[in-house]
Amino acid sequence: MFFGLESGMQQDFTIGIDCGSTTTKAVIFSVDGRIVGVGRRRVPQHMDQPHHVERDMTEAWQAVVEAMRDSLEDAGLEGNAIAGVGITAHGDGLFLLDRSTRPLGRGIMSLDSRAIDVHDGWKQNGISDRMLQLVGQRPYVYSASTLLAWIRDHQPERYAAIGSVIFAKDWIRFCLTGEIATDLTEASTSFTDLYTQDYSDGILDLLGLKAIRSALPLMRLSCDRGGAVTAEAAAATGLLAGTPVSVGLHDVTAAAVGLGHTQPGELSITAGTFSINEVFRDQPVTGEGWACRAGYRRGLWNCMAISPASASNLEWLARLLLPAESEAAQALSQEMESRLAAPREERTIPLYHPFLFGSPYEMPASASLFGVQSWHDRADLFQAMVEGTVFNHREHVEALRKTGPIRRLGVSGGGSGRPAVAQMFADILGMPVEIPEVREAGALGAALTASVAVGLHADLEAAVAAQHIPLTVYRPRQTRASVYERIFQRYEALTSAMQPFWAGLYNTERPESTKPALPDTPLMNYAMAGGHIREARP
C-alpha cells in the first residue's frame, strides 16, 4: 500500500530542516518523498542552573548551516537544485529577540522546568482551568506563556527589552530570510483563542502578559511563503539567494504530516523521547488528558496527548546492558523477537512503568519493574520495557478516543519499523496500525510545506497524496490482543497502587503524619505482607 502516487511531476527538490532537542537535520527530498541527501549536526543543551535547559541561538543556527551544506554534498546537488525550504523544530519553549532583532539571551527549551512555581500558582488560583476553556489546554511548565511570566517576575530588565516572542523554528527562518513570523501551530501553544484561532488579548490579560502583545509576531499559515534566502544566508548554507522558505510547522504537527496524516480522524503516534499521540479534528474538543491546539490550516484542530515516557526508556536500558555495543537497542530487539512466537501468557514477562524521565500524571512518578524473578534475563526486561512504553501510548490513545472517531492510526519511531514491535502496537492498541516506511517524518512534513509554498502542489493534502512511500498495515491478533487487554488492566491497577508512594520514594525523613494513606486493596495488602507478585490477576 502507498500514500498515493502522482505521476508526471517535475523532479524539483525541497529541503526539510528539523531542529530537534539534541540533533539538527537537513534532509533533501524528491517531489515523491525519496530522501536524496541528509546532513546532521549535534546541538548542545546548556544546563548551567538546576531546572534550566537552554540552547544558544547562534549555535543552533550554525548547526543548521553545517547540516544544510552536508545534505547538499551528500545529495551531490548545488543550491540551485532546491526549489524551497521548510522548517520544523522542537516545539513550545521560548526564543526571544530584542528590539534590534538580536537574541535576548539563550533560547529556552521544552525540557526546562524553571517556571514550576508559576505553573503551580496558576493551578491553585484557577487560571489553568480558565485557560483550558480559552486556549484548549492548561499551560505547561515549558509553555511560552509560563516562561514569559517567570521572566517577568525574575528578570524584569530582560522582560522589558523583549522585541519579538518567537519559537525555535521561527529563529532559524529569521536567520535564513531576515523576516519575523510564526505559524498557527506554534502560536496556538499559548496565545490564540481556541475557537477563532487568532491572538487573544483576553488571554494575555488573564496571565498578566499585556506588555508583550506588540512582541507577538505576524501569524501566518504553515504553507505560506515566509520569506526568501538572503544573500548572507546563501553564502553560509550553499543555497541560492532568493530560494523561497515556507513558514513551517510545530514539530508534532510536522511528524503527523510526514506520516501522511492531514484529515480529521487520522491519529499519529511518534515513539521517541516523548510519547506523542495526536489526532486531527474539524472542530475544537476540550477535556482531560489532551491539549487542543490549531492544525496546519484554519478550521482544523490537533488534539494531542503527550508525555516524556516512550522509546528513551529502551535506549537507557540498552546502554546499561550493552555499553560496548553500538547498536545495543537493535541487538536487544533481536533477542526479544526470537521469543515472541510463544504465547504471551506462557512467558511470565515483568510489567514496567516507563516513567524514567516523566509521566502523564500531574505528580511525581518513577519507573518500576514488577514481578521480576531470578529466571528473567535481559531479553525479558527489554520486552517488559517495550510493552510498558506501548501501554503508556495506549493510555494517551484511550484519552484521544474521547475526542471522536479514529479513521486510521499510524506509528513511527521506537523500533516500530521492526515487524514484531509494529505487531505489538496493533495487539496492545486493539486496532489496525499503519507503518509507513518514512525516515525523517518531521523533516518530510516541513519539506512538504515548502513544496506547497513554491507551487509544486496545490495544498498540503495534495502534497501528501503525491508521496510514493510504501505502507504496511498490522492488524491485531484476537488471541494476543485479549491477553494484552488483561495485562493492560494490571498495568493500570499497578499505576493506581503506586501513586501514593511516588512523592515520598526519595524522602526517607518524612514525618509519619505526612505519609500518604495506602489504598486498601488485595494487591496492596499482599505487597505489604511481603508477598512476591508472580501473576497478579485483574
Which of 195-204, 324-333, 432-441 has the weakest average pLDDT?
A: 324-333
Which of 142-156, 379-393, 407-421, 508-522 has the weakest average pLDDT?
A: 508-522
Q: What's residue 330's pLDDT?
A: 83
The arithmetic mean of pLDDT across residues 113-133, rounded, is 95
Beta bridge partners of 164: 97
The arithmetic mean of pLDDT across residues 51-56, rounded, is 94
Residues 223 and 316 in one domain: no
Q: What's residue 339's pLDDT?
A: 80
Pairing of strands 13-19, 82-89: parallel
Q: Which range, 176-185, 324-333, 517-526, is most confident?
A: 176-185
* Per-residue pLDDT band at 118 (split at 50, 70, 90): very high
Residue-wise pLDDT for 333-378, tens only, equals 888 888 887 777 666 899 999 998 888 887 778 899 999 999 999 9
Assigned domain for 519 exists: no
Residues 234 and 308 in one domain: no
- In eight-state DSSP terms, residue 216 is S
Q: CB neighbours (10 Å) of residue 417?
A: 16
Torsion region of 396: left, alpha or beta (phi above 0 gives left; psi -120 to 50 gives alpha): alpha
Residues 186 and 298 in one domain: no
Chain centroid, CA 158 distance in Å: 29
CATH number of the domain within which 366 lies:
3.30.420.40
Contact indicator for 175, 235 with CB cutoff of 8 Å = no
Instruction: State which amino acid sits at residue 130.
Output: R
Calculate Rg over the CA atoms of the chain.
23
Query: Which structural domain, as residue segments, surrounds residue 42?
Result: 13-260
H helices of 274-417, where?
A: 312-321, 328-337, 378-401
Q: What's residue 3's pLDDT?
A: 42
Instruction: Answer yes or no: is pLDDT of 2 > 60.
Output: no
The arithmetic mean of pLDDT across residues 116-139, rounded, is 95
Residues 160 and 200 in one domain: yes
Q: How far apart are CA 27 and CA 70, in angstroms?
A: 10
| Number of structural domains the chain divides into | 2
Place of cell 488471541: 479
Instruction: Answer yes or no: is pLDDT of 299 > 60.
Output: yes
Residue-wise pLDDT for 439-482, tens only, equals 889 999 999 999 999 999 999 999 999 998 889 999 999 999 99
H helices of 273-377, where?
A: 312-321, 328-337
Q: How far apart are CA 180 and CA 372, in angstroms?
A: 54
Q: What's residue 192's pLDDT?
A: 97
How high is the mean pLDDT of the chain?
89
Q: What's residue 485's pLDDT?
A: 95
Residues 161 and 306 in one domain: no
